[in-house]
Structure 1
Amino acid sequence: MGCVKFTQVIVMKNINKQLFFLFWGNFTIVLAGMGLFPILPLYAAQFGATRTQTGLYLTIMYIAITLGSFVPGWLAGKVPPRGLFMAAGIAGIPSLVLMGQVQTLWQLVGLTAVLWFCGGVGLALIAVFTGIAANKQQRGKSFGLLSLTAPLGALVGGAMVAWLLSWQDYATLFWVYGMTWLALPLIGLLALPKQQNDTKSPTKGERPQPKTVPLGQTFYLLTFISLVAATAMNVGRFGTTVSMQILSFSAESVASTATVSGLVAIPVTFYIGALSDRLGRKQILAAGYGLSAVGVLLLITAVHLWQFWLAATLILISRSVSDAVSSALATDLLEPAALGQGLPLLNGLTRAGGIISFVGAGVAMDYLGVMRLYWLTAALALAAAFQLILLQRRQHQRLLSSLTATILHRKPAISREPC
């Protein structure tokens, strides 16, 4: 009995160690994304990029990270996940270093696409390894800790970028980030398991699960709402940089928006999961979408640095709420056998919102004007929040009809979806 307990302790220590390294790997990738994203439009402008070209540049980045996210699924059973993770880490290092040496806009676009593609591969694999390592009782806590890397990455990344640009130049900035990326192949080599056992054969007497499970109308509506909200949030992120560029703010000032917003969003992200358990996920999501609308509207009148800090903070909090709660809500809605099919679809469509927003924002700013685009973006965010409220009422009506049918001795199909 004592040997069994001792073995359990050793196993838990190994799992906690692996989760620590997975958190560190996730933070390394997000650090580059959150830190560099605000200043990349400014860097591209040095090579003559117009607003439309900048929007196309950011769109290509999001296409790359979306494709990278799907690669582990496409190569499942063909390439060892550990080797794929190490390859993505190694490929990202020269991409980062060379970004500081480019001479043309399209060299920058190509290298950034490679970096974002590698980041997508790495983030997807970290999620897979986390799901394997975390036990059922602590799975939510483990994924919640991963979501903390977004505001932490914004805080540390923004501070790094502001300090390095004030001290040196873009070449030094990208070289330092390249050195931080060295952590990824080391984590893959030292901390990740050599084999992945994420599929189990059915035991004797157990029916095999069907390959595809219906996801349900409510889930598809949630994915559409998430797509609309993600589009609005990404326009707000892009618009913050563009508005500051129009007002001739320095790159250090632009980077400071990531630092300040990350500092405020950290405690919100830490507690948002527990808050959604107590108050309801749809209510928290709707409130988060409303915050993004307020943040975008603040950009219309923003002229001082603190106003851009406030707008960026509201938009980042909205994104943190969406990341932390939307997957939990989808898990509530889906049958267990449908999680592997439904959650990647939700995450992929959320990133597709970045593609739509960046290509659309660049063109819309040139043809509609910046202020009109902000009004339209705020309306999209409010529409997403309103759709969630309608979804909540529909759930209540369905529950009421089910209870009424039960009293009348009928046999309704009671939904497992939460209120």
Structure 2
Amino acid sequence: MFTGITGNVFILGLVSFFTDVSSEMIYPLLPLFLTGMLGAGPAFLGVIEGVAESTASLLKLFSGIASDRVRRRKRLVLMGYSLSALMRPLIGSASSPLAVLLIRTGDRVGKGIRTSPRDALIADSVDPSLRGKAYGFHRSMDHAGALVGPLLATFLLAFFVKDLRQLFWLAGIPGVVAILLIAWKVTETERTPEPKARLQLAMLPPGGLRRYLVILFLFTLGNSSDAFLLLKAGAVGTPSYRLPLLWAFFHLVKMLSNMPFGALSDRIGRRSVIVAGWCVYALSYLGFGVARSEWQIWLLFGVYGLFFGLTEGVEKAFLVDMAQPAQRGAAFGWYNFAIGAGALPASLIFGGIWQYEGNVAPFLFGASLAGVAALLLIMLVRPQKDIDDAV
């Protein structure tokens, strides 16, 4: 089952596990904290998520390109995880929605620094025939942490702490464990860095990779923050004390589905698995739009979790298949930038539609864009195997 999972991939999986334990002790409770305790509305929640994620994605572009020009990607990975681990618990001290915006943006700055170098380091550390499995394993560990985090938060709130702020401070402990694992256990891989020339940011990568990134951007315009799904769950009557459990269930589905679908893409091709995932996304968003009861929300979160299993690791493996080996960091930078460039307008649009048109219309908008993106991927981006056969 774990054949081909190298030491670096395993340790980086553990790092993501502990980081997400920390993050997900906070995240499912953040909408409640913002709207219930600090008085923010759905539109400002969209601002927070959009600004934070877009900031991260811009930095992922720079850090990815920079990681191709240095011998030690590990330093960037360690720097990014350390900044996030320091910033995240500070939400416990926030007294206004603006303070949450600043702290969450700082957290995402750390994510922006670490993500592209880390993903490139994984590609450097695994056999090409097992990329889908390796990225699927990494995402599974990430979601395992996202499963444990809400459960731990529920346990602590039930028996030890009564204040959300105290819980947010405690969430810093797993983040420190992640930093220590990187410092002590992650190793560099043998590689020749790109020449230290001026950063080329004016143009996207050429050919099929460019088309793939543009289509990803289009899909992301309809893929707003998952915080809105938690808001929808509350809108149909899900009590606040069950929101962490719902979030844990969601990540259980993602954890169990990522590695199998990643390995499947190693056998049958990446594009078809991604298209299937985007179709599942469209169906689940249609369901969220018309959902009216808590049991429907639980069912839809399960289906929506399969979308992540089908796409998270596979999209990255597909990217590596098309990128030049010496430019993997830059490819991941552009990949993350394309997603993040759509994150701010996506969350702003979604939050605005929700606030002025109700909670059905924004989900219909997201489902429509997912369907269009799936069709474009089929028509405009050839699978790597077809490209190799034509050469």
Aligned to 1:47: 38
The one-letter code of the counterpart of 1:299 is: F
Matches within 5 A, 1:72-151: 72-73=63-64, 76=67, 81-134=73-126, 139-151=131-143
Aligned to 2:54: 63
| 2: CA distance, partners of 1:98 / 1:43 | 14
Q: Which runs of 5+ in 2 are unaligned?
A: none
Aligned to 2:261: 272
| 2: CA distance, partners of 1:152 / 1:281 | 23
Between the aligned residues of both structures, percent identity stands at: 21
Q: Do structure 1's residue 188 and structure 2's residue 182 form an aligned pair?
A: yes
| 2: CA distance, partners of 1:367 / 1:234 | 16
SS in 2 for 1:416: helix
Kept in 2, the 8 Å contact 1:92–1:114? The answer is yes
Kept in 2, the 8 Å contact 1:165–1:252? The answer is no
Matches within 5 A, 1:336-375: 336=325, 339-375=328-364
Q: Do structure 1's residue 177 and structure 2's residue 149 form an aligned pair?
A: no
The one-letter code of the counterpart of 1:350 is: I
Q: Do structure 1's residue 227 and structure 2's residue 227 form an aligned pair?
A: no
SS in 2 for 1:198: coil
Kept in 1, the 8 Å contact 2:156–2:167? The answer is yes
268, 271, 286: which is aligned to 2:275? 286
The one-letter code of the counterpart of 2:212 is: L
Aligned to 1:198: 191
Q: Do structure 1's residue 322 and structure 2's residue 311 form an aligned pair?
A: yes
Offset of 1:250 from its aligned partner?
A: 3.1
Distance 1:33 1:355, change over 3 A: farther
Offset of 1:349 from its aligned partner?
A: 1.0
TM-score, normalised with respect to structure 1: 0.78
| 2: CA distance, partners of 1:31 / 1:78 | 30
- In the alignment of these two chains, the number of paired residues is 376
Per-residue Cα deviation, 1:145-204 (whole angstroms, up to 9, x for no partner) = 2121343233222322333334423123212210111113312331234x77532699xx
Distance 1:280 1:337, change over 3 A: same
The one-letter code of the counterpart of 2:271 is: K
Kept in 2, the 8 Å contact 1:61–1:113? The answer is yes
| 2: CA distance, partners of 1:307 / 1:171 | 31
TM-score, normalised with respect to structure 2: 0.83
Distance 1:338 1:107, change over 3 A: closer
Offset of 1:328 from its aligned partner?
A: 2.5
Distance 1:356 1:316, change over 3 A: farther
Most deviating of 33-42 and 109-118: 33-42
228, 248, 254: which is aligned to 1:239? 228
The one-letter code of the counterpart of 2:102 is: G
Q: Which runs of 5+ in 1 are unaligned?
A: 1-14, 203-210, 400-414
Aligned to 1:310: 299
Aligned to 1:407: none
The one-letter code of the counterpart of 2:53 is: Y
| 2: CA distance, partners of 1:140 / 1:296 | 26
Most deviating of 262-271 and 66-75: 66-75
Kept in 1, the 8 Å contact 2:281–2:370? The answer is yes
| 1: CA distance, partners of 2:308 / 2:264 | 16
Most deviating of 82-91 and 217-226: 82-91
Kept in 2, the 8 Å contact 1:26–1:146? The answer is yes
The one-letter code of the counterpart of 2:247 is: A
The one-letter code of the counterpart of 1:22 is: L
Distance 1:332 1:75, change over 3 A: closer
SS in 2 for 1:374: helix
SS in 1 for 2:388: coil
SS in 2 for 1:258: helix
Rg larger for: 1
Offset of 1:245 from its aligned partner?
A: 3.0
| 2: CA distance, partners of 1:338 / 1:84 | 16
Aligned to 1:403: none
Aligned to 1:416: 388
Kept in 2, the 8 Å contact 1:161–1:252? The answer is no
Offset of 1:34 from its aligned partner?
A: 4.5
Offset of 1:290 from its aligned partner?
A: 1.1
CA RMSD of aligned residues (A): 3.3
The one-letter code of the counterpart of 1:188 is: I
Offset of 1:104 from its aligned partner?
A: 1.4
Offset of 1:313 from its aligned partner?
A: 2.3
